[in-house]
Every structure is written in C-alpha cells, then in structure tokens.
Structure 1
C-alpha cells in the first residue's frame, strides 16, 4: 500500500490576478504550492480587462479609493506592496506600458503579457497548476485542508481563497469563495454588482434616446462625486463616471449629474447679457453634444432667446443643470459589472496576513474579500497587494 502523498504547503483556489500573485510569492519562498482553477486556463478575467490591454495598476493608489465595511483594512497590504512594486515587476519582464489618464497604467501591447508574466513567475517558483476541473468538496481535518477535485483528494497545510466574486459570470465567475468562507464560519458582507451601468425607467426615456452620446460630467451621490465621462445607453447610464458612482449607490436613491462642471456660477445670466438673441440649445451646444443640448433644453422648456427670459428662470435652469436628478431603476447586474462589492468580511481576517482569525491556515485575497477599488487599476493593485501579503505569510504562523 503506497503512502499518502506529502501535503502541499499551500493550495490556492483561483488562478486569477490575486491567486497567481499569491502562489508565485509563496513559491519563491521555497514553499510547495498547488494552484487550482476550474476554468480551462489561468487569468481569463485579466485578458479582457482594460479593453484587452490590462489596466494593471494605478499610480494614485491609496486606501481611501477602496470601499469596505472597514475602510482601514486595505492600508497594510497596499502599504507593503505598492503600485511601484508591481510596475518594477512589469519592467523586469520587459513589458512596455503607458499612463492613460488619472494614473491608470496599461500595457502597450496585450493583457496576455500580464498573464504570461504571472504564469512565468509561478513556473519559476515551482508552482504546480491544475486547470479545467471544479473543486467538489473542501474539508479540514487532522491539521490539513482536504480539497477534492475530479475524485482526487489533495491536501495542504494552508488554503487560499482567490476565486473572486460573481461579476462576469460568462467567464465562469461564481460565489464559490463565499460558500467556503461560510463553511468555516466566516461572515460575508452581502455581495452586489460594482462598477456597473445603471438602468433608467420610463420617466427618463428621453435620455435613453441619446444612446451612444457621451459627455464629461460630475456625478454626485450623497457626499461622493466623480468627474469623468458619462455615456448614455439604450438601457440607461454608463461610462467611467457612472461606473464609479455605482459602487456607492444604494437602490431607490437618486443620483445628481452636473452637466457643466466647469461652468462658473451665473454663467447663464452672463450669456444672456452677452448674447441675448441666443437660445439655450445653442448655448448648451457650444459645450455639450448637440443631441444632449437639445434634450436638456427641451426638458427645461426654455428653448427660446435668452433675452426673453428673466434672470430668476435662468438661475433655476443653471441649478437644474448642475444637479440634474436621475432615479436609476437598478443596474445591469453581475453580468455587466466589472467587479463585486461586498464579500468575505474583513472583520474575520488579519489585515497583515489575510488569514482568517479563527481558522489558522485559511486565507482570503483579492475580489472575494470585502474590499473594492475605484475604476482604473485599483482592483488589480488590491489583487497584487493582498496576494503578496498572503504569499509572504503562509507557513510563518
């Protein structure tokens, strides 16, 4: 009778950004690591990110650009593995990159380069990779984690949950990590779609007729504001500004859009003095797309010469254009969400090691944790930082 195979030092579930980073980091420390993914190949979500060029980090990464029930949780990992650290790794692999806007870094070539970088780091560190079969069962006994896959019992001294959340189910995304977390007594903050387009109802049908029109706006929800491009769609509102605010938005609450965030107070009254014969549609059209200017003027019911309007009416129009209310009926859900907000509660994890406080050897990293970044490379940086933190900690406790 043959002896049972030697346990792995760590089994990492999920060969995405966080999982590969963790596996490579642990392997580089001489640990024996097994990396498992139910999909056919690693890094599938990385490949579609950033329009296929992977917005792999953000130079302005800071803890205040992340949402979590504990806003301080991300500080430790982000402070110990920074955007500059990952950028140095990118440059060491000879990958050309560029800064797009707002600190967002992209590959000049393809997102495939980032997947190859991570796969190369894992291979060099001796990480074993198994793809294409789901995990059927997980248990913990005799001081080991038992992972059953394809009828085979695999054992590890540590288990890392890095399977992400349910965003983008067409890539095989599921809530598997939450099921395992609950199995081991960890709390889960209600997952919800984040960085996701809004849907609008019949009251805003006129704006849905603007499908394809984009403009730079400032969008407000509560005290949160983002100034970026917004895009009208046949279903509602999208574009960077809307994706950003969607992570904060709560159902049945309005958002407010400033269509002219660069305008000074009193700008419309001043226009009246300078161009009394100009109509509101023409004035708005000097800054906004013509179709949008037309719809706004129609909604305001002021499409006549400015000189024919009193200052009070113009100031009211200014105020409306600065805080135009929209009442989203919802979002386009996990199918269109770039990430998942919520997830495994940070209250049950060490912010330094990412290990479960009450389950020694169990770690959770990346998107499956209740830490969600802004649009623009922040979620990848959380994946790198949390993966690195766990990879450094495995086997030391």
Structure 2
C-alpha cells in the first residue's frame, strides 16, 4: 500500500496535521478510538486552549523554537474552528477554555475535519517496523493481526510522550527519531503530583486552598491540594515541571494581608483563640495540623507583634522536600522529547531527513497546565500539515 503521508498517532497533533495534509494521508493509532487524551482532559470537558497562550508558557531547551508555529496558528484560529463546528465553550480561570458539553465534541470535530480533507483513519493499528530506502519510508503495520506494508513519502511522529501508560503511551516516537539520527533530550513526568515517602500530609488529605508554590526561581498562584501521598492541585502540577529530585519547594499559604488582619482582630477581639482566628483565613484542618509545629497556643491578646509576624512568615515560606512524583502513571504530559535542534521550527521537519516530521508532545516543547499543551498540538500539527500539503501541490 502506498500513501503520500503516514501519521503515527491519532491524538490532537496527529489529527490536526491530517486535516491540513489532505488526500493521500493515512493516520493510524493502536487505540480503539481516536483522541483518547482529548476525551479524558479537563474532567471530560477538554481544556482545549488558553486565551493567553504564547511562547512564554512553554518549556524547552530552545525556548524560541515554538514561536513560529504558535504565531502562525494561534488560539484564536482554533477558537474559530470550534465556533465553526457549533461547539459551545466557556472560560474558566486564567484564560482556560473548556467545552460546555463533552470533550468528545473536539474529537468528533477533528475526525470530521480530517475526513473532509480526504485523509483516512485506521484504529487498532500498531507499528511493527520502520525503514527508509533513501527516497521513501517503509512501515510494517499490524492491523487486527494482519501485517500490512505501507510506503510513504512523509512520516509524521505524533504518538506523544510517555505520560499515562495505561492508555498505551510509549516512547515509540523517541525510538524512531533516534533510528533516523535525531537526538532526544532527557524526558521526565510533568504536570504531576509530588509525593512524600513519610505520607506527612495524609491527615490533611482532601484539604484545598489557594497558595503560591515556588521552586528553582519559578512561582505559581493556584489551588493546592493535600493528598494521602503528598501534594497535588494546579499549583503543584505547574511547579512539578520546574522541580527536580532533591529540590525543596516553598509554599506560601498565608494571604498577603494576614499579619495586618490578625493585628486588627487582636484589637477588636483579643480573647479569641489564635487557632480560631487563623481558621478564618485558612482551612481549620490545616490550622490544627500546624498548631504543634508552629506552637499556635493562647489567645490573640497573648501574641506580640513579633510573634504574629513570625507565624505569618512561617506560613509564607513553608518548605518541604518531596521524595518524588507520581510518575508517568498520572503525569498529564512528558517534559522533554525529540530535540528541537534537529527540526525546522517552521514546518517541524527533520533537517537531516526530508519527509520526517515530529509534532505535539513527542517534541521537546512542554506547556504549562491550562490548555497550553493542546495549543502546541494544534499549532505544531498545523505547521507540519500545511507544509506537507504545500509540498504536494508544488
């Protein structure tokens, strides 16, 4: 079987690429349904992009690499596509856009787009082997137990990273990239809960509050969640991309006004217990947990300015050293990937092997939490797909 373009992976980037590449394109995926990560994202409503998406929201060894694709296919372009398909959406916090209905609407939209462009989609299909004879790629596929040889002018690596292996995630894209001479940077779980071997927060499991988390010079202001295994919530998922084993994280739990609020409360109601006063600003279970370590005893009237300041300082810089993370099992994305030094930033094509493309999560471009990784999938898939289509017309 001969095709113009073979896309490995029917995820966000792969389907977007197929919708641009057009006739002669075959998209394959080992799963029984396309866009599995899209379906489970955003609590089933798909945080499909972010109003504030830009190069500053992405991590890479080359922070400039993502600029071209993101500039040429923006969040506004994807919103226009969503609107054209009549999918209702809403903005949550921090520019995050979600479907009003189910995330399956985004999957269905992408399938309609790729089929309208003349591309084919094979599910339940895996890769057995890949080679290149100097002019075309030869790929052996396994489709429902049948070996099918396919030759293609273009091969697109869109199989993602290692995150969520229970969905079948593997390092296939990295293996193929290395086979053809591309380097792969260090990969690690990202947007992932952090864990502590001593389960020090088990008693606080389920407690959530707004917080600032910091690590290695980067900070995020979002919700923090205590779990039996450690720390989670958006604030922790964000900082996990910047944290490394052996590093501390700093948690700011106290509102910026806490010191002045406690002083004012001391003037008005000095007989109120200190823990009661603090529980007006922080979850009661957290205050109870901290009562011993911070010696939270007595009434407000018993506390000097220096004592109140010391308490507030402790709550503003609560430091802990995580043992590790929950790993790829729960990580939303993979940090690192195919080295951008070997790719053309305009069309995502390998510099050393024309016809080989890498897009989406497989590449060393990782977004923040909040729809940014989907926007990279749309932008990089669009960049590769339009370049393939342009080459076919030339």
Tell me the TM-score normalized by structure 2: 0.95
Which of 342, 355, 363 is residue 361 of structure 1 equivalent to?
Answer: 355
Stretches of structure 2 lacking an aligned partner (at least 5 in a row): none
Q: Report what 1:155 is aligned to.
A: 151
Q: Report what 1:70 is aligned to.
A: 62
Matched, 1:16 2:8: no
Encode CA deviations 1:257-311: one digit per residue, 9 max, x unaligned: 1112442665544544444323331122102211112112332012222322333
8 Å CA contact retained: 2:238, 2:368? yes
Shift of residue 153, structure 1, vs aligned partner: 1.3
8 Å CA contact retained: 1:268, 1:315? no
Instruction: Report the number of matched residues.
Output: 387
- What RMSD in Å do the two structures reach over aligned CA positions? 1.5
- Mapping of 1:234-245 within 5 angstroms? 234-245=228-239
8 Å CA contact retained: 2:218, 2:239? yes
SS of corresponding position for 2:257: coil
Encode CA deviations 1:103-153: one digit per residue, 9 max, x unaligned: 111111111100000000011111111111210000010400111112221
Change (3 A) 1:275 1:298: farther
Counterpart-to-counterpart distance in 2, 1:105 and 1:119: 21
Which of 313, 330, 335 is residue 329 of structure 2 equivalent to?
Answer: 335
Which of 136, 139, 144 is residue 136 of structure 2 equivalent to?
Answer: 144
Q: Report what 1:216 is aligned to.
A: 210
8 Å CA contact retained: 1:86, 1:384? yes
- Mapping of 1:1-397 within 5 angstroms? 5=1, 7-27=2-22, 31-150=23-142, 151-202=147-198, 205=200, 207-263=201-257, 266-394=260-388, 396=390
Shift of residue 69, structure 1, vs aligned partner: 0.8
Counterpart-to-counterpart distance in 1, 2:24 and 2:244: 44
8 Å CA contact retained: 1:280, 1:297? no
Encode CA deviations 1:79-101: one digit per residue, 9 max, x unaligned: 11011100100011111111111
Counterpart-to-counterpart distance in 2, 1:261 and 1:227: 11
Counterpart-to-counterpart distance in 1, 2:17 and 2:42: 22
Counterpart-to-counterpart distance in 1, 2:350 and 2:363: 11
Change (3 A) 1:261 1:225: farther
